[in-house]
Structure 1
């Protein structure tokens, strides 16, 4: 490649300050996925939300966020990452204010949907900003180590913060708390972030691709959400799955034919990226299931308060931080990513395996805490190179949509994990009660039976989570073949004489 073919990408002297605001925004988005769960019972009572409609507080956000991520990623490539990032933050703050001030269920559902819309703009823009701002291998490793720790541990932070705000203040503060986060991040981004010149995708927006991908992803996420509440054989559940397959297949066909696709198939077909998207999506299935089961186990079986439950997840957060910032960051420039990801997922699977031994009188310090430490260390170590390699070989003009694919795999993985593992747990719980109900003749015995049945359901589902993590490890070991990321700084593919040059020099993002 000639020297003149590559635009000058001198490192931004304020890039580490910029990382603070990008990380703050990512923390806000990730913790919002769990912080509202803790507050949901209180909000339901206060707003008069029916039992049948309460799921829409979660579902409205998931549908908008999951369905619009690809669109948001392409908007970031088209409009500019910094502009999209700031717009997403301002919109997310406004939607959060609306949710905190909600006076009824319709207002609440609308606010959650708006949060999802602006989150779908914000998340890909944040990730792709990191991709183009941190181009030197060691700096990139540090930046994505920090980002990976936040992406992995933010959900557990949400449980702690949600429990504290709900118990000591009011459920409305689980929404209002986003406002200062967003204001600080938006102001910081506006004044500090300097997006590198070049690399913007100015091609016309692929409207058929936007419609097909959005409808297909919405149908897929809603199908899994519906399966959790109404069963896998429910007519609407089946309809959603069939519609999703048809729409997403039509999307792939469309993207192969249109001149300026929303999601260039070159982003998906590269072996390493495909391995990242698939292994990360599967791992998230296990993580979401774990958050769900441990939260209920600690509160219902062990009798923990919401705040105590949140703090009980601290070992996992600690493990995530150490795995991402110490193990992953230090080794990513020295060893191949698969040698971090595959062992990381296996260590997480081992921690998950410990949790299959849960019982109603299980010791927190003796089993739950070490299991969480192993899970956190494993996931943090695996997530860090996954974040960093998500746009490996992608030209800067595609960084936004490639980053959005990682968010999409996580969002779909979360929907699958919540529905699939919860359904497995419910079935096992019912079967256990049917097998042992004859021996429960007193109220006290029936109470113990209910607790044992619940834990039995959780352990059955956790066995599935162990298997899924092992599959993630195998996929990472087999599909991800790139070497250690210790090469030269990434260059913009724009203007390159050889189209393969952009693949030879890695560009990375979450």
Structure 2
């Protein structure tokens, strides 16, 4: 048991990191009402939480090398707890954004790479596989309990108590942190500020562009930002493609900068040459795609259940439970399978199941939830994510030596959180953009009077907001529409929500299928046991034979 004490402590920190986002997702409608904000604003907060981590994760990993991995873990835990407390006390979306999206994110950029590096440093061979599987299973437990804890607390108490609880858990983790051995020595290296700025700015521009695509349009401008009343749409195009190009250019400059620093003998923020390792590159790509799908699912499902069907937070958590249970179960199953199957075979099985589950979920979305089909889809999605979680951590961390584990832990955190950011931003933007086009098209082709159509068009000039279907009738009545027109608008809006959700699930099917291409260079050999374990097994077999 003593051997696994460090893993258990680190797992508790990992539990809080994962619990945090699942609670916020399942509590979307309640937080929107409590803080008098919108689903779009919550989408931005969720996106920027993971974006903060993605953009600064490399810096956090490098600070772990400078300060030492356990000290970085301690500092990050303290910052994270302060962010949780701020979030719990937030009176409006601005303070929540600061506490959750920024401060908690800053703490996580120190904690997450440190967890990966400390696991890699304290365990080897099959123990390392088990260690990362425990961390993966802990994440699964958080995913399993997060919707239930968040749903129960949000429904019967307040979502704020979850964040107060996180402060308590992080305090307990800090109380036992000395039980985590850390053989790493602080390094006297200078962190290149320009590298940190280039990577953060590049990633931020790319994710922000996707987030704003629902408002500004992907290519042709819709509701462009204005300066002095003049729309900003260079050459008649939306700002989105320009921001994507600018972000890509900054990341290219970042890569050039890292290579130049290595040539001069100066430590880079990250050795980009590691990305030439096919095994590592493949593992990180699969990880990014996995979290992109996960974030998309955990954003869409609560919106569907709460806004379209009128479920409360607890009922939403119960509906998500099949995914959560399967994720935990198949994290364990995936670890056991390493004795007979290679990591690539297990990962590809998980990816194929993910594609199937996305199709099933697509078919389950309707105005009257097809509960059995939905439950099967969620269970299979959890099974797929569990199989992936059981392998990816070890595949990436075992691609390099222990001395580079902190850097790889940073890269792992970047791809994990960048995938989450892109998943929430992209899928959320598709959902909202599809809702606008579907609803306005349905209104235009309906039998509603011209004056009603004009009123709807004027009210939705800047896009159609995601609101609970049950409130549409009241909104229409307050706008002066007749009860018959209000009922018609409610029907059109609910149908438009369902069609936009289907479009979003179709995008998830595409992403899930595309991820199969990324697993080409995942290892095909079985994970070996430690020499002493193998010798012990041989002796036992010999004794049995005699």
TM-score of Structure 1 vs Structure 2, range by shorter chain = 0.7 to 0.9
**Computing the radius of gyration over CA atoms, which structure comes out larger, 1 or 2?**
2
CA distance in 2, matches of 1:292, 1:320: 17
What does the per-residue CA deviation read over 1:240-289, in whole Å, with 9 as the maximum and x for residues that have no partner? 32331121111101111213111102321100110111122122222222
SS at 2:399 equivalent? coil
Q: CA deviation at 1:199?
A: 7.1
- Secondary structure of 1:312's match? helix
- CA shift at 1:371, angstroms? 0.8
Q: Deviations over 1:75-123 (max 9, x none)?
A: 1223221111121111111221122223455543332211111111111
State the partner residue of 1:248. Answer: 251
1:363 corresponds in structure 2 to: 370
Could you tell me which residue of structure 2 aligns to residue 424 of structure 1? Answer: 430
1:115 and 2:104 matched: yes
Equivalent of 2:344, from 338, 346, 363? 338
2:294 corresponds to which residue? Answer: 287
Equivalent in the alignment of 2:181: 194
Instruction: Report if aligned partners of 1:72, 1:124 keep a CA contact under 8 Å in 2.
Output: yes
1:483 to 518, 521, 525: 525
Q: SS in structure 1 opposite 2:114? A: helix
Asked whether the 8 Å contact 1:215–1:247 carries over to 2, the reply is yes
| Aligned residue in 1 for 2:497 | 454
> Does residue 74 of the first structure (1) align with residue 80 of the second (2)?
no
Distance verdict in 2 for CA 1:48–1:436, change over 3 Å: closer
Partner of 2:514: 471
Q: 1:222 to 1:439 in 2, by over 3 A?
A: closer
The correspondence of residues 177-192 of structure 1 with structure 2, limited to 5 A, is 177-190=165-178, 192=179
CA distance 1:117–1:293, shift in 2 (3 Å): same
Describe the shift of the 1:96–1:270 C-alpha distance in structure 2 as closer, same or farther (beyond 3 A): same
Match of 1:413 among 399, 416, 419: 419
- The 2-side partners of 1:489 and 1:392 are apart by 17
Asked whether the 8 Å contact 1:77–1:397 carries over to 2, the reply is no
Matched, 1:301 2:308: yes
Summarize the Cα distance change of 1:279–1:440 in structure 2 as closer, same or farther, 3 Å threshold: farther
Unpaired segments of 5 or more residues in structure 1? 1-12, 491-510
Report 1:77-88 matches (<5 A).
77-88=65-76
Counterpart for residue 319 of structure 2:
312
- Secondary structure at the aligned position of 1:356 is classed as helix
| Correspondence for 1:223 among 198, 203, 209 | 209
Q: CA deviation at 1:185?
A: 1.5
Larger CA deviation: 172-181 vs 41-50? 41-50
- The verdict on how the C-alpha distance between 1:208 and 1:432 changes in structure 2, with shifts beyond 3 A counting, is closer
Displacement of 1:381: 0.7
**Is 1:133 matched with 2:136?**
no
Match of 1:204 among 181, 185, 190: 190
Offset at residue 331 of structure 1 (A): 1.5
Question: 1: CA distance between counterparts of 2:436 and 2:36?
Answer: 30
Counterparts of 1:298 and 1:105, CA distance in 2: 23
> What corresponds to 2:403 in structure 1?
397
Superposition TM-score, scaled by structure 2 size: 0.80
CA distance in structure 2 between the aligned counterparts of 1:446 and 1:202, rounded to whole angstroms: 65
Which of 388, 391, 395 does residue 394 from structure 2 map onto? 388
C-alpha displacement of 1:56 = 5.3
| Corresponding residue number in structure 1 for 2:466 | none
Residues 216, 243 of structure 1: 8 Å contact kept: yes
| Aligned mates of 1:304, 1:52 — CA distance in 2 | 19
Aligned-residue CA RMSD in angstroms?
Answer: 2.6
Alignment partner of 1:117: what SS? helix
1:360-412 CA-to-partner distances (Å, cap 9, x unmatched) read 22321x20111111111111112211111112231222211211212211211
Q: Deviations over 1:11-67 (max 9, x none)?
A: xx7331121111111111112123234445555555566888655543553342222
Give yes or no for contact 2:28–2:39 (8 Å, CA) kept in 1. no
Q: CA deviation at 1:483?
A: 1.6
Distance 1:45 1:304, change over 3 A: closer
1:498 matched to which residue of 2? none
Partner SS state of residue 102, structure 1: coil
What number of residue pairs does the alignment pair up?
A: 472
Structure 2 residue ranges without an equivalent (≥5): 225-237, 449-483, 533-546
Contact 1:128 1:400 in 2 (8 A): yes
Does residue 64 (structure 1) correspond to residue 67 (structure 2)? The answer is: no
Distance in 2 between the 1:464 and 1:272 partners? 27
CA change 1:415–1:198 in 2 (3 A) is closer
Q: What are the equivalent positions in structure 2 for 1:44-55 lying under 5 Å apart?
A: 46=34
